[in-house]
Structure 1
Amino acid sequence: MTLPPLRALPVFEAVARLNSFSGAARELNVSQSAISHQIQGLERYLGEALFLRQGRRLVLTDQGRAYRDQISSALQQIERASEDLLGRETARLRLAVLSSFAVRWLIPRLPSLQSRYPDLDVALEMTGEAPELSDRVADCFITISRSSRAFTYDLLYEERLFPICSPAYWERMADALGLDREERRNPDLVLTTAQIARFPLLSTTNIYGRPAGDWEAWFRDSGDALPGSARIQHFSHMLMALEAARFHQGIALTNDYMLSQQDDRESFVRLPGHVLITGDRFYIAHKTSRRNESTVRRLRHWLIQEATASGLMSPQ
């Protein structure tokens, strides 16, 4: 077996992660010259430049980036295997999650996780819709992406969009539509698309990647077209459209996890209208090779249990 200078590998990983020789020196508690010496030795062994200096910035070369991606995972596996044998498995776990899911559903439930597993330290990382699934980014992910065959995916939620507004705005709508008190309380009441279109529609642009894309899809799935006369207010994120609805500015389309708390259910009225299945599915994802780690298993179990208890997911 031919191996590179092993002492240089943690040094390279620290420099690559921190983009800094001095930062790596502080983290590893060695001199900056020692860091430089180790990197130079590794580059000589590999016959490739791993870093480039661009002014004051330190950047990985293409070869350095590829090498980092491969050895980072290997170093983490060595660390975990050693901790297992020593009986000191780390209880810290990095969970990467979409911002809206984190803010509206996950964070309010973290006290339950801390109560169940007080030794489990979960650090949250915000991601976009298609994060890089890699141990270098996080240990576990809540994601709609299934881009890596090396990962295991457990379904948490299949997204549905439905119209909501504030209680005060619903009363205004009901008055405008001529609904009496009995009709307003009728559980079988269903508003037509024409009735919905009479009021300002609060649109979240990034759901379908275009202005009014969410309402266009909702009307189309209902069997109608979005009227050209519809009054639409555009927002880049569902959190913003939800707040506009909270302050009586119109009707927004939202999903189940955005209204998962009791105070949310009291602040909004779910209008009796069509429900759109978007096709987006939210998964808890982790590397398959890590399925037997106790921290991963505990977090996975808790997330599935909470998703079921909150109604996001049907019981298995």
Structure 2
Amino acid sequence: MLPPLKSLPVFETVARLNSFSLAANELNVSQSAISHQIKILENHLGESLFYRQGRHLELTKEGRHYLDVISHSLLQIAQATNKIKGEQTTHIRLAVYSSFAVYWLIPRLPELKRQHPNLELSIEMSDGSPDLSDRTADFFITVEKEKRGFLFESLYEEELFPVCSHTYLEIIKSRLNATTDKELANKLNTIPSPLAQFSLITSYSIYDRHLEDWKHWFKNLKQPFPVSTQFHRFSHLMLAYEAAKHSLGIALVNDYMMNEITDEAALLKLPCSAFKTGDNFYLAYKESRKNEEGIQYLKKWLCEEAKALP
């Protein structure tokens, strides 16, 4: 037996926006009309779809499951309708880590638009791993690799290496008395590492702890961690990157942050050791949606662009 069909897009909108009032604004109806349609649907299903505590709204377990099932069906109906009407625009919501979005993805979006002018992309930035759900997005870049009903495709294996600004590089050369690139490389790769005498920039976001990134770097060199080194602490890799750009010291960043499309690189890789963090980035999308044109276009384009990553 079909549910009350008028209630389904109302439920999807409330769940996506996590708000009755915002859903009312988007659908251009009153908030009482939204509440009425949700009540009709809940009565039909015999289950509560939301927890309501004051202004706080949250999907129940049954609500999350129902949303995962019906949101794809509503999308297919919308796409079929647009195709019949001759409106070929495809809208895809992409959830991606903030640093990946800012430094790698956004500079490349004009090329995506050139290749696929009818593909409209909405970017959902995330500090942590995004929830793999239709409520969050249609397509994901994530370090997760397991969830029932999803397909995963390897994109990039993360590696961290020391970088600094052009200005700070001159400070390093002067302090180490290195006049050529070869001399600099030889001195930076001596044991113990001379990097310990410079200001180092650490970020919290990769290992959920300050200094852990540099501890792994020194451990990779089989060297003790330098306790006397001056560290500048930041919560996120993006902030560490920006601090290095402004010559605060040496930071550990990854390949995709060094793949900006610019005339001149803001930061320079130092000629010394790198290490793998153990994180692998994957493309993820629902198996039931693998044949959709928008999903296929985006997957193919991301994979082609990622080939430039080491």
* TM-score normalised by length of structure 2: 0.87
User: Could you say if the C-alpha distance between residues 195 and 21 of structure 1 is closer, same or farther in structure 2, counting changes exceeding 3 Å?
Assistant: closer
Amino acid at match of 2:153: D
The match for 1:136 is: 135
Query: CA separation in 1, counterparts of 2:222 and 2:237?
Result: 24
SS of alignment partner, residue 3 of structure 1: coil
Asked if 1:218 corresponds to 2:217, the answer is: yes
Asked if 1:191 corresponds to 2:189, the answer is: yes
Would you say the 8 A contact 1:214–1:253 is kept in 2?
Answer: yes
Query: CA separation in 2, counterparts of 1:22 and 1:170?
Result: 53
- Report how far residue 65 of structure 1 moved: 4.1
Query: CA separation in 1, counterparts of 2:18 and 2:117?
Result: 34
Amino acid at match of 1:40: K
Amino acid at match of 2:95: A
Query: CA separation in 1, counterparts of 2:164 and 2:154?
Result: 29
Would you say the 8 A contact 1:143–1:283 is kept in 2?
Answer: yes
**2-11 or 169-178, which deviates more:** 2-11
The match for 1:294 is: 293
Query: CA separation in 2, counterparts of 1:247 and 1:206?
Result: 20
Query: CA separation in 1, counterparts of 2:111 and 2:12?
Result: 35
User: Could you say if the C-alpha distance between residues 237 and 195 of structure 1 is closer, same or farther in structure 2, counting changes exceeding 3 Å?
Assistant: same
SS of alignment partner, residue 306 of structure 1: helix
Asked if 1:179 corresponds to 2:178, the answer is: yes
User: Could you say if the C-alpha distance between residues 305 and 144 of structure 1 is closer, same or farther in structure 2, counting changes exceeding 3 Å?
Assistant: same
Would you say the 8 A contact 1:96–1:141 is kept in 2?
Answer: yes
Would you say the 8 A contact 2:151–2:285 is kept in 1?
Answer: yes
- Report how far residue 181 of structure 1 moved: 3.3
**200-209 or 127-136, which deviates more:** 127-136
SS of alignment partner, residue 266 of structure 1: coil
User: Could you say if the C-alpha distance between residues 238 and 34 of structure 1 is closer, same or farther in structure 2, counting changes exceeding 3 Å?
Assistant: closer
Would you say the 8 A contact 2:178–2:184 is kept in 1?
Answer: no
Amino acid at match of 2:43: R
* TM-score normalised by length of structure 1: 0.86
Query: CA separation in 1, counterparts of 2:263 and 2:164?
Result: 11
What is the 5 A alignment of 1:30-49?
34-49=33-48
Amino acid at match of 1:176: R
The match for 1:241 is: 240
The match for 2:117 is: 118
The match for 2:96 is: 97
**296-305 or 53-62, which deviates more:** 53-62
- Report how far residue 148 of structure 1 moved: 1.3
- Report how far residue 210 of structure 1 moved: 0.9
Q: Deviations over 1:140-159 (max 9, x none)?
A: 11111123132222222111
SS of alignment partner, residue 49 of structure 1: coil
The match for 1:312 is: 309
The match for 1:269 is: 268
Q: Any gaps of 5 or more consecutive residues in structure 2?
A: none
Would you say the 8 A contact 2:67–2:135 is kept in 1?
Answer: no
User: Could you say if the C-alpha distance between residues 78 and 258 of structure 1 is closer, same or farther in structure 2, counting changes exceeding 3 Å?
Assistant: same
Query: CA separation in 2, counterparts of 1:50 and 1:113?
Result: 38
SS of alignment partner, residue 249 of structure 1: coil
Amino acid at match of 2:53: Q
User: Could you say if the C-alpha distance between residues 4 and 269 of structure 1 is closer, same or farther in structure 2, counting changes exceeding 3 Å?
Assistant: closer
Identity %: 49
Query: CA separation in 1, counterparts of 2:57 and 2:23?
Result: 12
Query: CA separation in 1, counterparts of 2:206 and 2:6?
Result: 47
SS of alignment partner, residue 206 of structure 1: coil
Please, what is the CA RMSD of the aligned residues?
2.7
SS of alignment partner, residue 265 of structure 2: helix
Q: Deviations over 1:177-207 (max 9, x none)?
A: 2223374476x66523431111111111222
Query: CA separation in 1, counterparts of 2:265 and 2:209?
Result: 31
User: Could you say if the C-alpha distance between residues 128 and 73 of structure 1 is closer, same or farther in structure 2, counting changes exceeding 3 Å?
Assistant: farther
Would you say the 8 A contact 1:18–1:24 is kept in 2?
Answer: yes
Query: CA separation in 1, counterparts of 2:235 and 2:293?
Result: 39
User: Could you say if the C-alpha distance between residues 57 and 223 of structure 1 is closer, same or farther in structure 2, counting changes exceeding 3 Å?
Assistant: closer
User: Could you say if the C-alpha distance between residues 15 and 228 of structure 1 is closer, same or farther in structure 2, counting changes exceeding 3 Å?
Assistant: closer
The match for 1:166 is: 165
Amino acid at match of 2:291: N
SS of alignment partner, residue 205 of structure 2: helix
Query: CA separation in 1, counterparts of 2:193 and 2:57?
Result: 58
Asked if 1:16 corresponds to 2:39, the answer is: no
Query: CA separation in 2, counterparts of 1:52 and 1:151?
Result: 27
- Report how far residue 13 of structure 1 moved: 2.4
Q: Deviations over 1:144-175 (max 9, x none)?
A: 11231322222221111111112222222222
Query: CA separation in 2, counterparts of 1:6 and 1:280?
Result: 43
- Report how far residue 54 of structure 1 moved: 3.4
